[in-house]
Amino acid sequence: MRTLYKTSLTCAAGLLVGAAVMNGCQKGSTLANDSASTTEAARKVYVAPGKHDEYYAYLSGGFNGQVDVYGLPSGRLLKVIPVFSQSPENGYGYNEETKPMLNTSFGHIPWDDLHHPKLSRTNGKPDGRWLFVNGNNTPRIARVDLTTFETAEIIEIPNSAGQHCSPYPTDNNEYVVAGTRFAVPIATDGSGIQDVPLDTYKDKFRASLSFIKVDKTTGNMDIDFQILVPGFDFDLANGGKGPSSDWMFFTSYNTEQAGTLKEIGASQNDKDYLAAINWKKAAEYARQGKAKEIPANYYHNRMDEKTHMATSTNKKTVRILMPEDCPGMMYLIPVPKSPHGVDIDPTGENIVVNGKLAAAIPVHSYSKMIKAIENKSFDKSISGIPVLKYESVLAGEVVKPGLGPLHTEFDAKGNAYTSMFVSSEVVKWNVKTREVLDRIPVYYSIGHLMIPGGDTQNPDGNYLLAMNKITKDRYLPTGPELAQTAQLIDISGDKMKMLLDFPTFGEPHYAQAIKADVVAKNSKKFYRLDENAHPHATTKEPDARVERKGNQVHVYMTAIRSHLAPDNIEGIHVGDEVYFHVTNLEQDWDVPHGFAVMGNQNAELLIMPGQTRTLKWVPTKSGVTPFYCTDFCSALHQEMQGYARVSPKGANTPIKFWLGESKKPAI
Ligand code: RUQ
Ligand code: CUA
């Protein structure tokens, strides 16, 4: 069954592109039967019990709005980091401290479609400090702190819709960028996205490219400026490197500006455009006052490191630059129609544009681009943006590489690896000669691929991770919904070798990986209780108490192995807003406590050592309600429980609380 499906898929493609892909089919079918290579593959990915993986890999969760952390080469799942989605596991987005992280101008949006993780960089190398990810739906960028593996900040991007080409960093992390995938009618008077007839697409719809400044010390983000550009669909981006590091490149499709049936309308022109933006020049124009400040409405949410509470700021202005006012800032470079990824090789000279529908992969030259700009080798201009001549920028093409090229990454030996969605394979080629060197089938229909550091100046050349869109028969069936599949490929030799399949969740689009020791040494073990600045923290058990303020009841609770203080509470009435502010008094690694209340319509908490978390509960029924720790924390974990007595609305049961007979406090 497996062989049949795979054969029909890659060999059908083989018919179209020639013998090269047929080769791939043969190799794919031999691997499973070849016990020598299976043993060798198993040895390469085997991480013995108690041993650690060589890499952290951060895989996007796509439509689950999370980031999954895996160890490579084992493919072991280490952690799921909630970013744009609420997490019932630890209360992220449900508890009072983290709820504001999900505020947007549309209200509380507890989900998103997370596509691209990007590690922060110092001098062109991943530095292991932060992971930036995009929310493709409600345009947002988040920053994950890699000392805590928690979401530290989320910024909404105004004047944008469907923010796919994001969050691509510049080579030294000065900026992360974000581009609009869906052109929308953006008003320059700040009234946001307008209500206009949909057949005014060509005249009224625009896109924006946003440049978000990243603070070098704190990682804090802020939108510096946006560039308003023609209403193409901006798809993917990547920053230049080394010599080209002042530039940011964005692919665009639908340069025809079709507003309906884009499947046909967006494929009329033979060429679409790669936008090249000199971000240093743009920043300079913005500084010089060329940027117009317009009204806007967006949210900026940040976790405070001391209080562990998120604050949410509603921002009211943004600065915009118009390309026609800023000569030398932006150029358009023709590329074969409907391109997807743009990837720049480690030298910064070769710009690879992956055209989903193109028969060849064009490689543009950065130095030729600069010459073409100097020589004014322009075809025309669009909205004041010069369009460079295709041939004047082109270094050459990879001819007949495979079908449906989407993304390219690089190794340290001058090779490129391109994912082929339609012919389900990874194709290795030499960046200088553009000659195809090797190909390997993947199962099935690969999207992104990732080489640790393969998008930076400093790639590691041992592994490649293929992230496939279709799983079919690769695992035991689990009903209609299947996990997605990742495949680890050994690229250390001349020939690529398949090592491992492992399941992934949501839909991993892109991923990043970094040598484990860069990140592991900074990983936080617990929060210090003496630094806990949460306004409702209770850092000593004798201070545990219950206070009523109108219809609010605040429970200042502590948790330590193996009791909650207080564990008996009376005086709560139906309809009260009860806030459990629970402080975990432990000062040791890996001793979280959980907290849950029967029938709470909100969620539960998972409180890290030294941390305070607040759970809101609005009781709907009178009676006695148990609460308890949900994380098996000690031999007496099951004893870590208590009761809240809920009296009917209007009853006059007084507030009373205690822990143990001898500790019964005064009312
Ligand atoms: S995408 S499969 Cu990055 Cu959203 Cu290319
Ligand atoms: Cu604390 Cu179980």
- Residues 6 or more apart in contact with residue 452 via CB below 8 angstroms: 55, 57, 72, 459, 460, 462, 463, 512, 513, 514, 515
Instruction: Quote the DSSP letter at residue 40.
Output: H
Highest mean predicted confidence (pLDDT) among 22-31, 174-183, 185-194: 174-183
How confident is the model over 292-317, as pLDDT tens digits?
A: 999 999 999 999 989 999 999 999 99
Ligand with minimal distance to 406 CA: 1
| Mean per-residue pLDDT, 264-270 | 86
Residue/partner pairs of 263-272 with CB below 8 Å, 24 or more apart: 266/233, 266/338, 267/337, 267/338, 267/357, 269/337, 270/336, 270/337, 271/334, 271/335, 271/336, 271/337, 271/390, 272/232, 272/334, 272/335, 272/336, 272/337, 272/338, 272/339
Q: Which residue's CA is the closest to the ligand 2 atom numbered 1?
A: 593
Q: Residue 165: name the closest of 509, 417, 453 by CA.
A: 509
Please work out whether the CB of residue 447 comes within 6 Å of at least one atom of ligand 1: yes
Query: Could you give the 3-state DSSP secondary structure of residue 309?
Result: coil
Please work out whether the CB of residue 118 comes within 6 Å of at least one atom of ligand 1: no
Query: Could you give the 3-state DSSP secondary structure of residue 151?
Result: strand
How confident is the model over 106-157, as pLDDT tens digits?
A: 999 999 999 999 999 999 999 999 999 999 999 999 999 999 999 999 999 9
Q: Which atom of ligand 1 is nearest to the CA of 62?
A: 4
The model's pTM: 0.94
CA 380 to ligand 1 centroid distance, Å: 30
Confidence band of 188 (pLDDT split at 50, 70, 90): confident
Q: Are 277 and 225 in contact (CB under 8 A)?
A: no
Largest CA distance in the chain: 88
CA 115 to ligand 2 centroid distance, Å: 35
Ligand with minimal distance to 116 CA: 1
Amino acid identity of residue 641, one-letter, is Q
Instruction: Quote the DSSP letter at residue 663.
Output: G
Residue 190: predicted pLDDT: 74
Please work out whether the CB of residue 368 comes within 6 Å of at least one atom of ligand 1: no
Q: Which atom of ligand 2 is nearest to the CA of 594?
A: 1
List ligand 2's pocket residues with C-beta within 6 A: 559, 593, 629, 631-633, 637, 640
Confidence band of 356 (pLDDT split at 50, 70, 90): confident
Instruction: Quote the DSSP letter at residue 237.
Output: E
Q: Which atom of ligand 2 is nearest to the CA of 632?
A: 2
Residue 30: predicted pLDDT: 42
How confident is the model over 558-585, as pLDDT tens digits?
A: 999 999 999 999 999 999 999 999 999 9
Confidence band of 347 (pLDDT split at 50, 70, 90): very high
Q: Which atom of ligand 1 is nearest to the CA of 115?
A: 4
Query: Could you give the 3-state DSSP secondary structure of residue 546?
Result: strand
How confident is the model over 496-538, as pLDDT tens digits?
A: 999 999 999 999 999 999 999 999 999 999 999 999 999 999 9
Confidence band of 7 (pLDDT split at 50, 70, 90): very low
Q: Residue 567: name the closest of 648, 656, 652 by CA.
A: 656
CA 447 to ligand 1 centroid distance, Å: 6
Please work out whether the CB of residue 510 comes within 6 Å of at least one atom of ligand 1: yes
How confident is the model over 390-443, as pLDDT tens digits?
A: 999 999 999 999 999 999 999 999 999 999 999 999 999 999 999 999 999 999
Ligand with minimal distance to 559 CA: 2
Ligand with minimal distance to 628 CA: 2
Residue 409: predicted pLDDT: 98
What is the DSSP code string of 318-350?
Answer: EEEE-GGGSTTSEEEEEEESSEEEEEE-TTS-E
CA 486 to ligand 1 centroid distance, Å: 14
Amino acid identity of residue 444, one-letter, is Y
Residue 663: predicted pLDDT: 54
| Mean per-residue pLDDT, 191-219 | 94
Question: Other CB atoms closer than 10 Å to residue 256's CB: what's the count?
Answer: 17
Tell me the C-alpha distance between 215 and 80, whole Å.
26
| Mean per-residue pLDDT, 350-360 | 92
How far CA 127 is from CA of 339, 442, 519, in Å, comes to 30, 31, 8
Please work out whether the CB of residue 406 comes within 6 Å of at least one atom of ligand 1: yes
Question: Other CB atoms closer than 10 Å to residue 291's CB: what's the count?
Answer: 22
Q: Could you tell me how far CA 544 lies from the centroid of its own chain?
A: 39
| Mean per-residue pLDDT, 358-378 | 96
Pocket test for ligand 1, best of 112, 406, 420, 512 (most atoms within 8 A of CB): 406
CA 420 to ligand 1 centroid distance, Å: 12
